Amino acid sequence: MLTWKNVMEFAVKGNPKPERRVEKSEAEWRELLTPEQYRVARQKGTEAPGTGAHCNVFDEGQYNCLCCNTPLFDSTIKFKSSSGWPSFTQPIKENAIKYERDTSFGMVRVEVMCNVCDAHLGHVFPDGPEPSGLRYCVNSESMVLDTSKKAI
């Protein structure tokens, strides 16, 4: 189980190696994604709080990266955080997520991205429920829910 200490170590010392890499040109990403998906996933945008398609959905399945279909989060670790964005306590695998220190907007946060294609997902915070204490706060525009995958 990942903890805040692990997250900070990844953000400072380097991330776990992904199982594969997906790289495309900006033109290819623009062709594959809607303008809003591109703004959020490729340009590090944020959807307005409470507007995302996955905010209040708790269907069984797995949340995959919109850009490369990498499994990111399982529905069993999703929780209602009242933050306005879908929230999770752990990634499916330790190497599914990439962590980077983010000092934009006068704050110090940890950005989370898909470790396979570098799609911006959102941020992780140390104010989630036990036992991990983590809250992965993720944009709905960056994920797709695959309900054909049963929860693990």
pLDDT (tens digit per residue) in 36-67: 999 999 999 999 999 999 999 999 999 999 99
pTM equals 0.94
Question: For the chain, which residues make up each domain, given as ranges?
Answer: 4-146
Marked catalytic residue, from 67, 68, 114, 137: 137
Higher pLDDT, 12 or 150: 12
Q: Which CATH superfamily is domain 4-146 in?
A: Peptide methionine sulfoxide reductase. (2.170.150.20)
Question: Among this protein's residues, is 137 annotated catalytic?
Answer: yes
Residue 82 burial class via C-beta count within 10 angstroms: exposed 0-12, middle 13-18, buried 19 and up = exposed
